[in-house]
Structure formats: structure tokens, C-alpha cells
A and B are shown apart, each in its own frame.
Chain A
Amino acid sequence: MAHTAHTVKRYTGIMDWLTTVDHKKIGILYLLAGGLFFGIGGIEAILIRIQLIKPLNDLVSEQAFNELITMHGTTMIFLGVMPIIFALMNAIVPLQIGARDVAFPFLNSLGFWTFLFGGLLLNLSWIVGDVPDAGWTSYVPLADTTYSPHHGVDFYTIGLQISGLGTLLGGINFLVTIINMRAPGMTYMRMPMFTWAAFITSALILFAFPAITVGLILLMFDRLFSGNFFNVALGGNPVLWQHIFWIFGHPEVYILILPAFGIISDVLSTFARKRLFGYSSMVFATILIGFLGFMVWAHHMFTVGLGPVANALFSIATMLIAVPTGIKIFNWIFTLWGGSIKFTAANLYAIGFIPTFVMGGVTGVMLASAPANFQFHDTYFVVAHFHYVIVGGLVLGLFSGLHFWWPKMFGRTLYEGLGKATFWMFFIGFQLTFFVQHFLGLIGMPRRVATYLPNQGFDTMNMISTVGAIMMGIGTLMFLWNIFITSRQPKNAANDPWEDGRTLEWTIPSPPPEYNFKQTPLVRGYDAWWKEKMDGNKEMTPAEPLGSIHMPSPTILPFFMSVGLFIAGFGFMYGRDPFDNAILGFLFNNYIVSIIGLGITFGCMFLRSVYDDPGYHIEVEELEDKGGRA
């Protein structure tokens, strides 16, 4: 290293990962942690399906089954797919807008660690033995202490509050980043679709997550501090929980699917070598979906008895969402129309997404019709519908994005042949698993049943479904194997490994140096990099002279702040439990554990406030020393 004038220590090894505030490394951390939880949720899914392979199976007990479905849903949504979305947003969005990092690198790190410790707390329930068992929706009164007396649901309320904090921080961070950190010339209407999707998703997070946080706090008070928010006998109302949950829960599905829309848009246009068809209507449709997403929550509650007027209004509002979604579907097809389509693994996932997502979309419209919903609601039809949207939509989108941006994130391209084989295994497995579930629901199988009687016509379709689930499991293992063998290859991905890259991330090395852009690029149009290529340029025109780059310092504080919340969570959970051990009893029953935990968190916040952190500079000599590659 030619230059050593850093005011801050740069760490290596494990400390580097614990202290990093670099959005690219945080993206990788999100991917690792999200992948871990995705694996746990996947194992839970396979166990559920094996339990249901035949009537009256007794692989797991009824209680364990309810724990599995609760943890499968909660883990997959909050700890599996959302972090992987954040992984891609972190890894790619700053690059797509020509930024050197996110707006608040410290918050970014804090968001990751709170998510991770919240998720670990939730999953520790398996080790403690008190597992949440009231469904991922945790409807009261089933989730209150009368009907779920063990600590399971406490792990749910506290774990999700801590991890939800991380999500909210991440959402705010991306909003500010996209508003403030765009390179010169990168106007809103020149932003790549994935960035647009990340922007709208972040806005949805900003409005939706406070709702679930309030709900979780109310439920926590009911459970831990004898609150009565949902206690009918004392004037509380269980339907209130359902409203709060779904005011969050419905936007949540758009928080999940919009990034997939963004990924698909970028992947399809790249591999069709064609500009995204109807870009401005795509942007408008995304905004409209985000807006309407807040207007339809009660369609999850048609059978609650809100009355015909509410049911009618929410039916119509829900159907309206089909219009902007339809616009997107046709825009994608017409992006491919007239293009030059290359069937890479990433593109196969993106193409597979279209019909599968359409299936999920049309069943969504069917569900929107309240009178028919009385039959569909809480049956396997609904299970099929939301898995078509979340797995067939989002997860295929994530696989597509991971194959697409893997070289940018890691400098190595995943094996194409194996990637395509993985796609077919996963895709066929998916269709087998969930297509038949529509019919299971229609012929009378409710969801969340631990088993079913024979002679009801359910047997064959459940068997098919289980076989499909196992194929999806094998597909996931094939993807992991691909990662493993790819990691043993040299890091030799080109700046623009697909050669048809259109956006700014393909103008810099793979993986990018810590400062991303040696010189901030000047953006001259939509698909900035494509435009330069078409004009015969080999690189972007810089918008600034080469100068020293200001970098944020690494810090361990976010890690400890999250550890503090984790400890405090345990303290609150066991605050009223009797202990055999006098010392433990003293520490927990007087909330000393919680005070210590919160003390760590607030202490770190105090340190962060009083110690000025000016960051450090990477000087011009070092930039030139490193040349083109980091």
C-alpha cells in the first residue's frame, strides 16, 4: 500500500466483517444470513410436506406441526426472502445510481445486525423448546397467554420487533440514498427499474413496518405485562389485531414482490438486448401498486364479518391492483418482442417468472371476489395462491437476480449449465408442489391442518405436492453446490460479464473497489451504460476530476447495539418467570438483564454521539496505484 495516511484502522478477517459499513460487504452479510434462514425455513417446509404426504401420518405431533407452519412462514418472510432482497439492494442499488455508498453506512450496518440478532432470537425458540405456534399471523386469542401459555409467541413478538427495526432502518436508508446520492444526470426517470423498485419498496417499508411494530408491542404488553388490548372480557378486541396485522401484512407482500419486478425488468431487457418496453408506464405501475397496496388489507378478512359494504369496497379495490400488474406483465412480454433473447440461467428464471406470476395474479383476482372468497379463504387454494406469488414470483426473481449479479458481487460467474439444470429442477418442483394445491383447497381441504382423513380425495394430490417440494429442496441444494464450486474458481469476471449490460453497475470492476466509482460518472440518459456503448464509448464520462475519496470508518458499535437489544429481549421475556436458581431469578425478575441489555445499546448510542467520526480519505495516489482493479 503506497499510502498509509489513514486516520482509522482498517480491519481484516472476521473483524472486517463485524465492523464493515461497506454496502457491498453488508450485502454479502445479508445474503449469508438470509440464505441461512432460507435454509431453515426450507427444512421446515419439507417437514411439513412429508407430514402431509399421506393421510393420518404421524411424523410430527400436531403441536410440532403448528410450530413448523408458524416458523416456516415467519422465517421465510421476515428472515429469508426480505434479507436476500436487502442483499441485492445493498449490493446493486448504490452501483446503479453511481453512488459510492448508501447515505447512512452506519445505519446500514446497524440494520443488518439488528435483523440478524432478531432472527437469531426468534430461531433460538427451537433450542429453548418454546416455539411460536399461533401461525405467522399470530391471531389472538390463540396467541395470548391463555391459549399459548409458553414463551413461543414471546419469541415471535420480541424477535420480530428487533429484526423489524433493522428492516425499517434499511428502508429509510435506501429512500435517502436514492433521493440524495444519484450521480449527476441520473434523474428519477433515468433510474434503472430495480432501483425504482427498491425505492418504492423502501417507501412501503417506511409506512408498513410501524404498523406491525405497534401491533407487536400491543401483543407483547398483553402477554408479558398483563395488558388487555385484545382481551374481550375487559373491552379489548381481537379483530383489532387482525386489522393491524394486515395493514402491515398486505403492503408486505408488495414489499416482497416489487424488488422481484425490478430484477425481472433489468434481467429481461439485458438478455433481450432491448430497452425496457414502456419504461414510464412501468414506473407509474410500480408506484400505483405500492399505493393501492395500502388500500386493500381487509381482503384478508372477508370472513371476519366486517359487513357487506366493507367487503364490497375491499373487493373492488383489490381487483384494481390487477390493472397496473397487467401493464407490467405485457410490458415484459413486449420487451422480449423483437429482441434477441439469450437463455442464460438468470434469464430462464426471469422468463419462468412471467407465467408463474400470472398464475398467482389471476388467482389473486379470484380471491378478491368476496362472495367466492368465502369458499377460498383459509384453504389450500390460498396456500397455492400466495406461494405462486412469493415463490413463483419473488423467489424465482431472487434466483434470477443472484445469477445475474453474482459476478458483480463476487467477481465469479456461477456455472451456467448447472444453473439451468437447477432452474428446471426448482421450477418443475415448484409447479408440482403448488399447482395441485389450488384443487385441494377447492375440494375442501383447509390450510394449516396437521393431517387429514383418508377417502376425501386429498391423498394423491398431497403426494404429488410433497414430491414437488422435495424437488425444490434438491434444486436449492444444487444452487448451493453451484456457489461452492464457483467459489473455487479464479475471480476473473469482466466489468460487463454478460456483455449486454445496460446500467452503471456494469461499468466498474467485478467486484467493485470499496469506493465503487473512482470518478463519479456522468449519466446522459436512461440505460446509461448502454447509451455510452451505442455511442462507441469504452467507459463512462466522469463527472468530476480524480480526487481523494472520503470513506466512512468501520465500527463495531452496531454489532454491540444489536447484542444489547438481543439481551434485553431475553430479559423482558423471562421477567416474570419463576427460577430455581436464586441468582438467575434475581437478575431476571428485577429486569436487571433487560437493563444491562438496554444499557449496552444506549451506551453504544452515547459513544456514537459523543465521539466524532470524521471517516478517512483514500488519496489519489492510492487510487492510481490500484489501477483498474481493486
Chain B
Amino acid sequence: MMKRWQFSKRLLPLLAGLVLLLSACGREDLSTLNPQGSIAQSQFDLMKLSIGIMTGVVVIVFGLSVYVLVRYRRKPGDKSIPKQVEGSHKLEIIWTVIPIILLIILAVPTLKYVFAFAEDYSKDENAVKVKVTAHQYWWEFEYPEYKIRTAQDLVIPFGKKIAVELSTKDVLHSFWIPSLAGKMDTNRIDSLDKGNKNKMYFDAPEENVYRGKCAELCGPSHAYMDFKVKSVNQETFNAWVKEMQAPAKPFTGDAAVAEVFKQSCLSCHAVENEPKTAPNLKGIGSREAVAGILLNRERASESLDQAKIEDHLRKWIKETDDIKPGNKMGVIKLEDNEIDQIVDYLANYKLDSLEQINNGIPNVEE
């Protein structure tokens, strides 16, 4: 009986885990177990199949082990010598053939999806093309068809294929939106634009904000290299593209501070669509987070918190190295009143097209 109790103790963590699994599949905007896009859905189907097969294997092995250990334990003082069995061809063939069959069941959909996910939508007229460039520690999103460029918040129309081309400017990163699609590495491209440029595609089914992460160790701030995917309806997306193409909102503060902003900020950042070494600031007051990690709202059902936006911008300007150690910005020496005006300008640099989604999406599950 003792052994039986010890075995149930051994199963406890497993049961605890199963309970956790059943009670929470994670956040809808983050978990691979709560898939939203069609790619993540196929991946989840494959996972369910493999988990199913493998649970069967585990149950059989555990069951046999428990049976054997209970049934054949040595009684005290037992000196008998069990029969010395060499093996059994019949049994050995069984446990060679059955795994092969199970593996074939898993291999067929594996092969199907390997090729399905590798399909190239970069020439498809109906797909939205996005060039994703990873930097230590932020994401640049360029829309070559519309000649616009943004950072950290990837805005997409739902229901459409998004054809992504990936590369990095520095170390390797990996582009991952768990609830929409599995990850893909960003490789280095040389000056002639040659190299292992990766392509992938995904889609989102409805209006929502999904969390994306960097999945390849890229330095001290690897953990902080988050981004968001905002999926909006086609009209909103079109309006957003128009707004992004329009000239930037002029600086709202004093002329003197405008000059400081130009010298200190726009030397690396841009408010227009030109490529720069630092994240594009156009419409930063409408973004989900400052620096990707200081969240302006916890979930898409809430509305963006203006106080948080201002607070986070100020914090980022003052303590950038504490928030993302190793980032390229560094602390910029600015007077308090200069910071106030710059924060005021950036926090209020809104994009009207995103107002609705930024006010919170009703009926979004947690």
C-alpha cells in the first residue's frame, strides 16, 4: 500500500498541471493554447494531435510501470530467483511497430503544414506586405506598398493575409506572435541585400490587440523586446495608412524646444516615413506601449490611459538605461521644461484612425 501512496504522490504534480491546463489556457492575446489566427489554429491542431498521441503513450508507460512495481516488488526475506527471460521477439516487434504507426499519424499533418506554412504571399495582390526589421531592442515595420514606416505597433487589417519579410540590423532576434503564428528568426542581410531573408505569413480574424515577443536571446534587454499587433477593419486600416502618409504633426511647444527636439530627438528618430536608426515616432500617442514594454493599457478591452502615456514617456526619457539596459538611446540631457513640452507633444500625437480601437474593444475575452 505504501508504494501505491508514493506513486500517487508522484502523480500529484502531473494532476496539478492538468488542473492548471484546464483552468487557464492563457491570455487570448498571448497564448498558443488560445489561438486566434489561422496559422496558430493549425499549429494548435497539430499540438493537440501530438499531445493526444503522447498522452496515450505516457498513460500506457505509467500504467505498466505502476502495475509492475506493485505486482513484482520483493517481499521481505524473499530469496527466490525469478525466471531469467532473454526477451520476446513478438513483444519487441509490437513495441517497434506501434510507435512507427503513431509517428506516421503525426508525420502526415506535419509534412502538410511544413509546406503550407512555407507558402509565399509576398507577390499576392490581396496580401498586405510588411518588412519587419529587428533592432536591439525594438521592431521596425515598413509597408513598402504604402511607403510608410512605423515601430512597435504593427497595424494590420483583419481577415487579410499579412506577408512578412524578416531581417535584423544587429544580432539575431525572433519574431513571435503566439496567438497568431509561430516564430521565425530574423537573420542578418549584407549591404547588397543578400542573406537568409525569411518570409512568413499570418492573419487575424477580428479586431483585437495581440502581444508579440522576441524569442531569441539578443542581449540584456531581450525580455523587454515586446511589440503589439493591432488588427483593425479594412476602412480603419485604409484611414490609418492615409494618416501615416500625411505630413507629420508640427511640434506644439516653443520654438526653442522645437529646435531641441529636432537636434536631440530627430537626429535618430523620425516623425516622417524616412528610415532612421531609432523607432519612428509618428502617432506615438496612439501606441499600446512606450518602448514596447511600458504598457499604456493592460488589455484591449480597456482604453489607452493618457496619464500612463505621459508618465511612461517621461520615465523613458529620464531612465532609459534602467528600463532597457543596453539600448542605443542613452539618457539625453534635457531641461525639465523641455521634457514637459516634448512629452506633451508626443503623448498627444494621436492618429484619429486608431481612436476607436484605442478606446477599448468591447466583448473581447480575457
Contacts and interface: CB of A to CB of B under 8 A. Distances in A.
Given A233-B190, A372-B43, A336 B72 contact: yes
A444 interface: yes
A311 interface: yes
Contact of B69 (A316, A336, A436, A438): A336
A424 B182 CA distance: 37
Contacts of B26: 442-444, 456-457
Interface in B87-144: 87-88, 91-92, 95-96, 99-100, 103, 106-107, 110-111, 113-118, 136
A182 B33 CA distance: 54
B256 interface: no
Given A61-B325, A305-B198, A340 B96 contact: no
Contact of A456 (B30, B78, B214): B30
B170 interface: yes
B78 A457 contact: no
A374 to B, nearest CB: 2
Contacts of B73: 341, 343
Nearest to A427: B10
A142 B172 contact: yes
Interface string B37-77: 00010110011001100100110011011001100111000
A361 B218 CA distance: 29
A324 B138 CA distance: 44
Interface stretch (B13-21, B145-153, B238-246, B355-363): B13-21
Interface in A432-460: 432, 435-436, 438-439, 442-444, 446-453, 455-457, 460
A417 interface: no
Contacts of B118: 307-308, 311
Interface in B214-240: 214-223, 226
B220 A62 contact: yes
A272 B72 contact: yes
A375 interface: yes
Nearest to A431: B13
Contacts of B195: 232
A378 B215 contact: yes
B13 A305 contact: no
Nearest to A66: B220
Q: Give the one of A355, A363, A375, A435 with max B CB within 10 A.
A: A375
A379 B220 contact: no
Interface in A142-158: 142, 146-147
A513 interface: no
B115 A308 contact: yes
B264 interface: no
A304 B187 CA distance: 8
Contacts of B72: 272, 336-341
B65 to A, nearest CB: 6
Contacts of B9: 424, 428
A439 B106 contact: no
Given A451-B223, A461-B20, A329 B61 contact: yes
B133 to A, nearest CB: 14
Contact of B110 (A329, A369, A455): A369
B115 A312 contact: yes
B102 to A, nearest CB: 8
Contacts of B83: 274, 338
Interface string A222-257: 000000000011010011000000000000000000
Given A61-B325, A315-B107, A443-B25, A374 B183 contact: yes
Contacts of A427: 10
B78 to A, nearest CB: 6
B189 A444 contact: no
A225 to B, nearest CB: 21
Interface string A113-142: 000000000000000000000110001011
B74 A340 contact: yes
B208 interface: no
A614 interface: no
A365 interface: yes
Contact of A453 (B16, B172, B196, B293): B293
Given A323-B100, A341-B69, A378-B183, A274 B84 contact: yes
Contact of B96 (A327, A363, A436, A448): A327
B3 interface: yes
Given A439-B21, A443-B25, A62 B61 contact: no
A451 to B, nearest CB: 6
Contact of A449 (B32, B222, B298): B222
Given A233-B190, A351-B65, A375 B220 contact: no
Contacts of B24: 443, 457
A365 B51 CA distance: 10
A386 interface: no
Nearest to A449: B223
A405 interface: no
Interface stretch (B154-162, B173-181, B266-274): B173-181
B205 interface: no
Contacts of B106: 319, 365, 369
Contacts of A232: 188-190, 195
Max chain A CB contacts within 10 Å: which of B51, B107, B114? B114
Contacts of B293: 453
Interface stretch (A167-175, A207-215, A277-285): A277-285
Contact of A370 (B17, B103, B110, B188): B110
Interface in A275-301: 275, 277-281
Contacts of A100: none
Contacts of A272: 72, 82
B117 to A, nearest CB: 6
Contact of B20 (A351, A363, A439): A439
Given A274-B84, A340-B72, A443 B27 contact: yes
B171 interface: yes
Contacts of B25: 443
Contacts of B179: 444
10 contacts: A65-B220, A330-B92, A333-B65, A339-B82, A369-B50, A435-B13, A436-B20, A449-B222, A453-B226, A461-B20
Given A371-B117, A375-B182, 13 more contacts: A66-B220, A135-B217, A308-B114, A326-B57, A336-B72, A338-B83, A362-B57, A371-B46, A428-B13, A431-B13, A435-B17, A443-B33, A456-B211
Closest 4 CB pairs of A and B: A374-B182, A443-B26, A278-B87, A371-B113
Interface of B: 3, 6, 9-10, 13-14, 16-17, 20-21, 24-27, 30-34, 40, 42-43, 46-47, 50-51, 54, 57-58, 61-62, 64-65, 68-69, 72-74, 78, 80-88, 91-92, 95-96, 99-100, 103, 106-107, 110-111, 113-118, 136, 170-172, 174, 176, 178-179, 181-185, 187-191, 195-198, 211, 213-223, 226, 293, 295, 298-299, 325-326
